[in-house]
Amino acid sequence: MTEVLNQLFIGGAWVDAADGATMPVDDPATGEILCHVADAGPKDARLAEEAAVQAQAEWGRTAPRARSEILRRAYELIIERTDELAHLMTAEMGKPLAEARGEVAYAAEFFRWFSEEAVRIDGGCGTLPDGRNRMLLSRRPVGPCLLITPWNFPLAMGTRKIGPAIAAGCTMILKPAPQTPLSSLALAGILKEAGLPDGVLNVVTTSRAGEVCEPLLRGGRIRKLSFTGSTGVGRLLLAQCADTVVRTSMELGGNAPFIVFDDADLDVAVDGAMVAKMRNMGEACTAANRFFVHRSVAEEFGRRLAERMGALVVGPGTRDGVDVGPLIDATGRAKVAELVADAVERGARVLVGGRTPEGPGCFYPPTVLADVDPGSRLMDTEIFGPVAAILTFDDEDEVLRRANDTPWGLVGYVFTQGLDRGLRVSEGLEVGMVGLNTGLVSNPAAPFGGVKQSGLGREGGRVGIDEFLEYQYLAVPVR
């Protein structure tokens, strides 16, 4: 495993928390403490804010090509250190090494993508309708940003936010999830090595999120919040942003429908289900949550999915041949077990899995439930675990109505061999993203985000940098 950086990163320097506080980082595969890292408090937040504010003017004037080259160098360093970063991620988060290596590549690609976007920030000019005035449009950084990332993709969620902020010319404070601070601290070290000026990126690891973040959002100096996490926390942060009208973008919870029609290629559908459900042990906002399968193929689909899920090897992510690592912590595992128990009490049949194993670690087996009652709690709760809950449907209108009957709208999955039906149903889903005959939608080149209570704005793609830029309009009379 790579050297563990365990201090705060403020103004280009590694420092302890002002009050000397530290917090443990646990290994979810064993329950043992990996290490301790600095636990920031309000004073550290103010120091990070001051560093970001002081660096903003000069950084905002930096040539786009210079910002681009920093991101490109950071991309190359991440690729060079794939194995050590993957081991670090697996240690703090639990995912198997093969999957961690995949996340490293995914994370690096955001830096490569936004290194190319940095030099393509455009403006515009034109004649106003009266013919006597010219209009000049320029784009400039929104200013110091607060970036809050989750634990489930600790490296990629950092690069997805840091990349466009650097490309746009914004300084930032990054607050990673307390469960997974090590990947973010490693990322700060890489960016410093790549030449990022002091104060542009500041990383505050903390178990006291409210004490650290609320003063920043209410203080008037932070001009942008980018948050990935639960809808409940998102609502709270929106309220805190209101007083000073902080610009916000949020990727919040999901309750993804996975729809399999009677004409679907079941091999393709099951392959898609394995990706949409089991990526990251099901601990993803894009994870398929509700499997709606046409009644005529439900039994066969369930049998095939249970066979595939049951063949997966569960164990520590560092062990060879392991497909499914532990869930993030005991609380997360208990939630999954309670949701499964509720569904079974309501009549669901367990096709595979469904029992919490004995022994250390936060493991839970891949589970498939059939004949799930629509009133089960897991139908309106983000499962965040390796559980596929199958319900049946009879017609297109019915399944669209049921799929859309949720306050969330991040992603949906549709499996059918009919082009007309595929387009019709995809367009009918109230979601920001659709996987049509695929279980994977995430890509740095595509705009990622949802509708309804799944978020605001988009990350990635050509529009991802827009969240960090403002327009300025200059009127020029011509006499």
User: Residue for token digits 């499964």?
Assistant: 340
- Looking at this protein, which amino acid is placed at residue 25? V
Q: Which residues pair with 250 in a beta bridge?
A: 227, 456
Token pair, residue 433, equals 């993203």
Closest CA to 441 of 451, 456, 431: 431
Distance CA 376, CA 361 (A): 27
Cβ-contact 173, 216 below 8 angstroms: yes
Give the pLDDT of the chain (479 residues) as one tens digit per residue. Answer: 456 789 999 999 999 999 999 999 999 999 999 999 999 999 999 999 999 999 999 999 999 999 999 999 999 999 999 999 999 999 999 999 999 999 999 999 999 999 999 999 999 999 999 999 999 999 999 999 999 999 999 999 999 999 999 999 999 999 999 999 999 999 999 999 999 999 999 999 999 999 999 999 999 999 999 999 999 999 999 999 999 999 999 999 999 999 999 999 999 999 999 999 999 999 999 999 999 999 999 999 999 999 999 999 999 999 999 999 999 999 999 999 999 999 999 999 999 999 999 999 999 999 999 999 999 999 999 999 999 999 999 999 999 999 999 999 999 999 999 999 999 999 999 999 999 999 999 999 999 999 999 999 999 999 999 999 999 999 999 98
Residues annotated as part of the active site = 251
pLDDT at 390: 98
Distance CA 274, CA 222 (A): 41
Q: Output the CA torsion sign for 18, 19, 20, 24.
A: negative
Between the CA of residue 335 and those of 263, 329, 384, what are the distances in Å? 35, 10, 9
CATH number of 8-252+454-475: 3.40.605.10
How large is the C-alpha radius of gyration of the chain? 23
Neighbours of 125 (CB within 10 A): 11
Q: Where are the domains of the chain?
A: 8-252+454-475, 256-436
Closest CA to 20 of 43, 4, 3: 43
| CATH architecture of the domain with residue range 256-436 | 3-Layer(aba) Sandwich (3.40)
Between the CA of residue 435 and those of 272, 384, 443, what are the distances in Å? 9, 19, 12
pLDDT at 413: 98
Token pair, residue 312, equals 């997966």
Closest CA to 48 of 173, 145, 142, 148: 173
Q: Which helix (H) or strand (E) holds 231?
A: helix 231-242
pLDDT at 11: 98
CA–centroid distance for 113 within its chain: 17
Closest CA to 364 of 381, 400, 399, 339: 339
CA–centroid distance for 299 within its chain: 33
Distance CA 348, CA 342 (A): 9
